Each structure stands twice: as C-alpha cells, then as structure tokens.
A and B are shown apart, each in its own frame.
Chain A
Amino acid sequence: MKKIISWVAGSFFRQAGRFLFFIVIGGLIFLLIQHNNIQFKWTDLLGIETVKASTSTYSSRTLQLSEITYMELMGNDLRNNIEQFNVNSNYWLGLNRLSGDKIPVSQTNKKFTLQSSRFYNANFDYVYFNLYTMITVCSSGSSSALCSEISGARPTFSLNNLPCEIIDYSETIIGDSSSSNGGRSIYQNISYKCPNTSSGGGYVQAYFDNFNYNYMYARIGINRTIWYSNLGLTDNAAIIEAIRGSNAGVTGAIEGQTQQQEQQHNETMSTITDTNTTSDSNTTATFFNETNTTSELALTSIVSAPIALINNLVVGSHDSICAILNSKQICLPSGDIIWNRTSVGVHDHWFHGGTLEAFISFFNLVVGGFILYKCLLSLFNSVHKLLDPANSWVGVMKL
C-alpha cells in the first residue's frame, strides 16, 4: 500500500512539474512576443510566407513594348529608341544600338533607367527582373589589367529607389584586350529580386558605378517576362529555377546542370587522387569553396541534409539562427561569440592565452578526452570483432 501511494504521488508530482514547466516556458514565449510586438507565424520556421491575395507562390507576366513609357541612358532621354530585341530566343525591352554607336561613359552618370506602371503588382511582395547588358571595354588601348577588372563587375539595381539583390548571375566574355580586335566584350544576364512597392513612379534603374570601362555598346534591356512572388528573403530557389527555365528552357537547364555536376564530380575525383600531399590544405579549401553545401535543388537538399550537418561540424561552420518575424530580423548568435574558434572578434584579447583558452583546453582535455577514449574503445571493440572469424552480424541480417 505504501508503495502504491508513493508511486501515485510521485507520478502526480512529476506530471504537475512538467505541466508547470510548460506553462512557464509558454508564458515566457508569450511575454517575449508581446513585448516585441511580434506577429508570429509557424510558417516562418519553414521559410514560407503566406500568400496575401493569390493562390500561387509566384507568377509571371509578359511586358509589352508599349508598356515601357520612359528610358534614359547615361543622362540621355531615349524614350523614342525603346525597342524589343532578341537574344538567345529571349525577348528584351530596352536599347538596341549595336556596333558603331558606342556611347562614351562619363564618370558621374552611369545610369540606365526604365519606367513602367506594370512593374508593380499588389498581390505580391517581390518582383524579379532579368537585366541583359552587352559591354565593350579596352577598345581604346587600355591595359589588360583593366580588362581583367571588368570580369565579375555587376551593376547595382533598384526599383523605385529601393535596392534589389542579385539572385542569379551569368556572364560571357569574348575578345581580347587589343583595340585592333575590337576590344573585349562582356555579356551579362543578371536576375534581381526587388521589394515590390507602388510608390516612386515605377522606375527600375541600373547603376554601373563599379565599372571602369571606356565605351559601351548601348545594348541594355530587361526581359519581357518579369516574375512576382511572396517567397521569403532566403528562399530564392523555386523562383530561380522558374526564371532559369523561362530563360533557357528545360533542355538547356538540364544540360547545364548535368555539365556543372559532372565538372564538380571530376574535380572531386581529381582532388582525392592527387598524390601531392604538400598542397592538400589549399586544394581542399578551394574545392570546398566551390562546393554548394546549400544546394538550391529541393530533392538534393533533402537527401544531403545529414551530410551537410556532418560537413558543417567538421569544417567548423557555425551560423547564427535568424528568423524574420513581423519584418524584424531576430538572430541568436552561435557559440563562436564565446568560444571564438576562429580567433577573430571582440574577444581576441580575452581568448589568446587568457582564461577562456585555458577553459577550452581544460574542457577538451576532460570531456573531449573522455569522448575520444570512448570512441577509441568502441574502435578497438569493432576491430576485435572483425578479427573473430565466428562473429558476423551480416550473417544474421535478413538481407
């Protein structure tokens, strides 16, 4: 009887304690949300933002030539020169002057502007533009050093004076630096993600402030197909796939993706079979810079998630956890702000040779040493079982 009462009372108080614990935690979360005036949505954790007035997460529309009402390039009003031109089966709207119509670029006004009331869609939070530029540099005897600088330079882009972010970029460089061969030309295809706003008059503007070119063939435009979405700030994968599919078609996208994967695979194999061990660190570091651990492909990301976790642990990549709640970005810092594994930061003076370094050494010696001891013991047992000819756990598996 005494045992029964003790068991019942113990169970009751244990459950009461758990219940109280959950109430306290819930109350703290409630107070936090109320204090910060946060409108919490569970979908935020999944990277999904609810669609306000549309049943789909993204949509597109095709601009007409007549819907572009104003164009300006380098300070010149070119509204009578707006054209639709074709590049690689895609139709672009903008200026289409080719060779012979080079425009000298001043140092103060490197701006391309288009205006249309159709850039805004009330149902969506973001609008996407594909910018196409054809830029010729080094055609007046500039040095090859200047030519090399131009590669990778990307124009900044804004919609109604709100800056846009680059979500996809590709470039093709042809020609060389000699003026006799016409100079070097760069073709750029850039996808921008812009905050969708109606205030400002419907202007998109591309700035070329970081370009050190001399002349430019005036062939700049935006793709006729523009996209809208309500996808979150960090979730660009679906819309990038859609834009790429729209630009290149599914066949080209598959071929490009396959070639890229094959190239990465070959690089991996060549890295593994490299017998020159003196450059292991550099080779591997370069290789992993090119490895896309946050793949934009859904299935690939799902399957490779555990491997990504292991890789992050081993490489030592610790990111803060951030969530956008009611347009506020709240971040929980990673442990690196205390342990300072990278030895860079505000705790440098505290870390090097100080109390923290001593504590880390002590912790790794005691806890890490115990874990490693257990690992070695487990390893020894594994090897010991392998040496036993009668021990085979594969033999009892239902294969």
Chain B
Amino acid sequence: MKLIVSAICGFLMNLIGLILGPIDTLIAQYIPTLSNALTSVANFFSWLVQFVNWALSWLPLTTDTWSFIVAVLIFRLTVPLLVDTVKLVVRWWHALAP
C-alpha cells in the first residue's frame, strides 16, 4: 500500500517537473525578478509543508495508517468521478441513440 501511494506521488511530482521545468528555467533566465518572487512563494509553501509534516509527526500514528488514509482519500476523489463520468456518458448515449 505504502509503495503504491509513494509511486503515485513520485510519478505525479516527476510529471509536474517535466511539464514545468522548462518554464521555470525560462523564467529564471529572462525574468529573474519573477523567479525570485516565485522562489519566495515556493519557500513559504515548502515551510508550510514542513510545518504540517512536523505537527503530524507528533501523532503516534504509523506510516501504514497514514498510507491507508491517503489511499482511501485518493480512491474517494478519483474512482467515483471516473465511474460516474462513464455512467453519465452511457446515459447520454442511451438518450441520444435513435
């Protein structure tokens, strides 16, 4: 479970980096002021992430518990949307079919 969730996170982070990496490089080269501002925002977000992670570290829950909670949330936020979309398409197909 933990490995699957970690793999999904890693895949998403690499995908985001693949898409935004060249844009970041262009901004850093041609608009250094904007790059500095974005870096400051990124630092603030990084600090927030670190702080939330630090606060949650004081809960004696194991990483397996966290993995399960995250996995359930991922399931609840993705699978119903996918299935309901398929059901909607099927319903439209039945309504529009001659």
Nearest residue (CB) in A for B61 is A368
Q: In the docked arrangement, what's the CA distance between A386 and B81, Å?
A: 10
Known: A253-B29, A304-B17, A395-B84. A314 touches B44 (CB 8 A): no
Taking CB atoms, residues of chain B closer than 8 Å to A308 are 9, 13, 46, 49
Q: In the docked arrangement, what's the CA distance between A253 and B22, Å?
A: 9
Is A77 located at the chain interface by the 8 A CB criterion?
Answer: no
- Number of A-B residue pairs having CB atoms within 8 Å of each other in the complex: 244
Is A364 located at the chain interface by the 8 A CB criterion?
Answer: yes
Known: A284-B3, A303-B16, A379-B76. A320 touches B54 (CB 8 A): yes
Asked whether, in the complex, the Cβ of B47 is within 8 Å of the Cβ of A298, the reply is no
Taking CB atoms, residues of chain B closer than 8 Å to A284 are 3, 6-7
Among B61-93, those with CB < 8 Å from A are: 61-63, 65-70, 72, 75-76, 79-81, 83-85, 87-88, 91
Q: In the docked arrangement, what's the CA distance between A375 and B2, Å?
A: 16
Among A223-252, those with CB < 8 Å from B are: 235, 237-238, 241-242, 245, 250
Asked whether, in the complex, the Cβ of B60 is within 8 Å of the Cβ of A363, the reply is yes
Contact of A45 among B15, B25, B47, B83 (CB under 8 A): B47
Asked whether, in the complex, the Cβ of A297 is within 8 Å of the Cβ of B20, the reply is yes
Asked whether, in the complex, the Cβ of B24 is within 8 Å of the Cβ of A300, the reply is yes
Is A311 located at the chain interface by the 8 A CB criterion?
Answer: yes
Asked whether, in the complex, the Cβ of B29 is within 8 Å of the Cβ of A245, the reply is yes
Is A293 located at the chain interface by the 8 A CB criterion?
Answer: yes
Is A4 located at the chain interface by the 8 A CB criterion?
Answer: no
Asked whether, in the complex, the Cβ of A45 is within 8 Å of the Cβ of B44, the reply is yes
Contact of A305 among B3, B6, B48, B63 (CB under 8 A): B48
Taking CB atoms, residues of chain B closer than 8 Å to A288 are 6, 10
Asked whether, in the complex, the Cβ of B38 is within 8 Å of the Cβ of A298, the reply is yes
Asked whether, in the complex, the Cβ of A250 is within 8 Å of the Cβ of B72, the reply is no
Nearest residue (CB) in A for B15 is A265
Taking CB atoms, residues of chain B closer than 8 Å to A339 are 57, 60
Asked whether, in the complex, the Cβ of B41 is within 8 Å of the Cβ of A378, the reply is no
Q: In the docked arrangement, what's the CA distance between A316 and B61, Å?
A: 10
Asked whether, in the complex, the Cβ of B44 is within 8 Å of the Cβ of A46, the reply is yes
Nearest residue (CB) in B for A319 is B50
Contact of B40 among A48, A241, A378, A392 (CB under 8 A): A48
Is A359 located at the chain interface by the 8 A CB criterion?
Answer: yes
- Mask, A297-327, CB within 8 Å of B = 1, is 1111111111111111111111111000000
Taking CB atoms, residues of chain B closer than 8 Å to A245 are 25, 28-29
Taking CB atoms, residues of chain A closer than 8 Å to B59 are 335
Interchain residue pairs with CB less than 8 A apart (14): A45-B47, A47-B46, A261-B21, A284-B7, A288-B6, A292-B17, A297-B24, A298-B27, A303-B20, A304-B13, A309-B53, A311-B9, A393-B84, A395-B87
Q: Residues on B close to A: CB < 8 A?
A: 2-3, 5-7, 9-18, 20-30, 32, 35-36, 38-54, 56-63, 65-70, 72, 75-76, 79-81, 83-85, 87-88, 91
**Apart from A265-B18, A305-B49, A308-B9: 9 A-B pairs, beta carbons within 8 A:** A245-B25, A262-B18, A284-B6, A288-B10, A313-B70, A316-B66, A341-B62, A360-B62, A375-B72
